[in-house]
Amino acid sequence: MNSKKILMAMSGGIDSSIAAMILKNQGYSLIGATYRTFDQISDSCLAKEKGCCSVDSIFEAKALAESMGFPHHILDIREEFKSSVIADFIEEYMHGRTPNPCVVCNSNIKWGKLMEIAAELGCDTIATGHYARISKTYEGRYFLQCGVDLAKDQTYFLWKLSQYDLAHTVFPLGNLTKPEVRKMAFDAGYEKLSKKGESQEICFIPDNDYRHFLSENVKDFDKLCKYGNFVDPSGKIIGKHKGFPNYTIGQRKGLGVAFGEPRFVININAERNEVMLGTREDLQSHYCYVNQLNMMKYADFTDGFEVAVKVRYRSKAALARLFHHADGIARVEFVDLIDSITPGQSAVFYTGDDFADVLGGGVIIANSVVE
- Residue 52's nearest CA partner among 92, 16, 22, 91 is 16
Q: Which amino acid is at 32?
A: G
Catalytic residue among 105, 123, 225, 288: 105
Cα angle: 268, vertex 212, 253; to 5 degrees = 50
- Residue 285's nearest CA partner among 361, 366, 370 is 366
Report the alpha-carbon distance of residue 10 to residue 246 in Å, rounded: 34
- Residue 230's nearest CA partner among 276, 192, 195 is 276
Q: Element (H or E) spanning 277, and its range?
A: strand 274-278
Catalytic residue among 45, 52, 123, 203: 203
Distance of CA 240 to the CA centre of its chain: 32
Report the alpha-carbon distance of residue 306 to residue 321 in Å, rounded: 5
Report the alpha-carbon distance of residue 299 to residue 297 in Å, rounded: 7
105 catalytic per annotation: yes
Q: Element (H or E) spanning 230, and its range?
A: strand 228-231
Report the alpha-carbon distance of residue 147 to residue 247 in Å, rounded: 33
Secondary structure of 311-359 as H, E, C letters: CCCCCCCEEEEEEEEECCEEEEEEEEEEECCCCCCEEEEEECHHHCEEE
Residue positions annotated with a catalytic role:
105, 203
